[in-house]
Amino acid sequence: MNVLGIETSCDETSVAILSDNKLLAHVIASQDFHTNFGGVVPELSSRAHLQIIKPLLNQALEKSGLQLSDIDLIAATAGPGLIGALLVGLTFAKGLAFSLNKPFISVNHIEGHIFSGFLMKDKPEFPFLALVVSGGHTLLLHVKSFSQIMQLGTTVDDAAGEAFDKVSKMLGFGYPGGALIEQSASKGDEDKINFPVAELKNKYNFSFSGLKTSVLRYIQKNYANNKIIPESDKNDIAASFQKAVISALLKNTEEAIKNFDVKNISLVGGVAANTKLRREMKKLSVKYKKSVVIPDSEYCGDNAAMIAFRGKTLYESGRRDDLKATAYPSLDENYFEPS
Ligand code: KG4
Ligand code: ZN
């Protein structure tokens, strides 16, 4: 079966063609121009998706060696994400499905991330723990099957990636901040500043807003009156901040490993591209004799391969969406079943 996947939830336009379990084509166009605005501008994002989606589809078809008529199923992200951006991909996908008379599946973006480990050679085995760390979400999940996803914890305020982006802005690095913070942190001393890790009533929940404020206070206190922050101090702040985020993510994951019967751990989402987080997660899994699945960085950030894969599993479980399927602004709240 040849599945066409389309992803346009934020600032990446992506098209993938998955044939059974082989990825025949995967193209991603990142909207780098948002850097100039310090964050994603929704209207500009929608327009950029609209401009590039058709050429990107043609590029993917050419790479795959297939014709549109060879596609058997079309899957597109329907949310959560920026509503205008989502509507571009979703409407394009529905139009294709209608004109080609092929089945269509709308995919939840987070579910795409959760199962992105299946794009790797060594795949997750059920039941597994999934730590989803992206720009909009931080979720710890007990994944029992393709249809049973139990939520253990989530963030009560900022997402992990959002914290990286905000601290990056404070240090004058720009957007998106994750990779820039990581680069700076690699040159800094992570033990220089003791930034706090939040303690919450639900031991699987996360909070990064206090940490973000501590970084801000530290900068305001030590570099008052717009005093320039020396490069080496920026590196120490980035490293100490990164250490605090990673330790919060690992603390809850370790707690979940102790309390839930899981075969392995899967670390997914944009922040999973972070080298230190990947390394620390591998160490944690060795400690508990679990295997770990972390997608290659191409599949950590937003991509259509994960949408095609998730679309395929939904189709195989009997799901069919009609063309009334719409983009929902957000269904984060209580979307996954509580554990
Ligand atoms: O999954 P994703 O591409 O988009 C969302 O669904 O939100 O995640 C984007 C987030 C951004 O906040 C970005 O700063 C973060 O992932 N990120 C990183 C790294 N690369 C991207 N965070 C930490 N370290 C990285 N190397
Ligand atoms: Zn994402």
Spans of all domains in the chain: 2-114+299-316, 124-294
Give the C-alpha separation, 267 to 5, whole Å. Answer: 22
- Look at domain 2-114+299-316 and name its CATH class: alpha beta
Would you list the DSSP string of 70-95?
A: G--EEEEEEESS-HHHHHHHHHHHHH
Partners of residue 3 on adjacent β-strands: 18, 73
> Which atom of ligand 1 is nearest to 162's Cα?
12
The number of C-alpha atoms within 13 Å of 111 and in the hemisphere containing its C-beta is 27
The whole-number pLDDT of residue 12 equals: 97
Give the C-alpha separation, 295 to 233, whole Å. Answer: 32
Ligand 2 centre distance from Cα of residue 309 (Å): 15
Q: Fold match between 2-114+299-316 and 124-294?
A: yes
Give yes or no for residue 77 CB within 6 A of ligand 1. Answer: no
Ligand 2 centre distance from Cα of residue 13 (Å): 12
Q: Are 300 and 22 in contact (CB under 8 A)?
A: no
Q: Are 104 and 71 in contact (CB under 8 A)?
A: no
Give yes or no for residue 168 CB within 6 A of ligand 1. Answer: no
Ligand nearest to the CA of 297: 1
> Which atom of ligand 1 is nearest to 168's Cα?
14
Ligand 2 centre distance from Cα of residue 233 (Å): 31
* Domain at 124-294: CATH code: 3.30.420.40
Q: Are 43 and 84 in contact (CB under 8 A)?
A: yes
Give yes or no for residue 79 CB within 6 A of ligand 1. Answer: no
Q: Using CA positions, which residue lies closest to atom 2 of ligand 1?
A: 270
Give the C-alpha separation, 88 to 306, whole Å. Answer: 18
Strand ranges (E), the chain: 2-7, 12-19, 22-30, 73-79, 104-108, 128-133, 138-143, 149-154, 264-268, 291-293, 337-338
**3-class secondary-structure state, position 11:** coil
Ligand 1 centre distance from Cα of residue 330 (Å): 19
The whole-number pLDDT of residue 189 equals: 98
> Which atom of ligand 1 is nearest to 113's Cα?
1
Read off the tokens for 18.
């998955």
pLDDT per residue, tens digit, the chain (339 aa), is: 999 999 999 999 999 999 998 999 999 999 999 988 989 999 999 999 999 999 999 999 999 999 999 999 999 999 999 999 999 999 999 999 999 999 999 999 999 999 999 999 999 999 999 999 999 999 999 999 999 999 999 999 999 999 999 999 999 998 899 999 999 999 999 999 999 999 999 999 999 999 999 999 999 999 998 899 999 999 999 999 999 999 999 999 999 999 999 999 999 999 999 999 999 999 999 999 999 999 999 999 999 999 999 999 999 999 999 999 999 755 555 688 887
Choice from 134, 181, 243 to test ligand 1 binding pocket (greatest atom count within 8 A of CB): 134
> Which atom of ligand 1 is nearest to 177's Cα?
14
Q: Tell whether the torsion through CA atoms of 200, 203, 209 and 215 is positive or negative.
A: positive
Give yes or no for residue 134 CB within 6 A of ligand 1. Answer: yes
The whole-number pLDDT of residue 328 equals: 73
Give the C-alpha separation, 75 to 7, whole Å. Answer: 9
> Which atom of ligand 1 is nearest to 159's Cα?
12
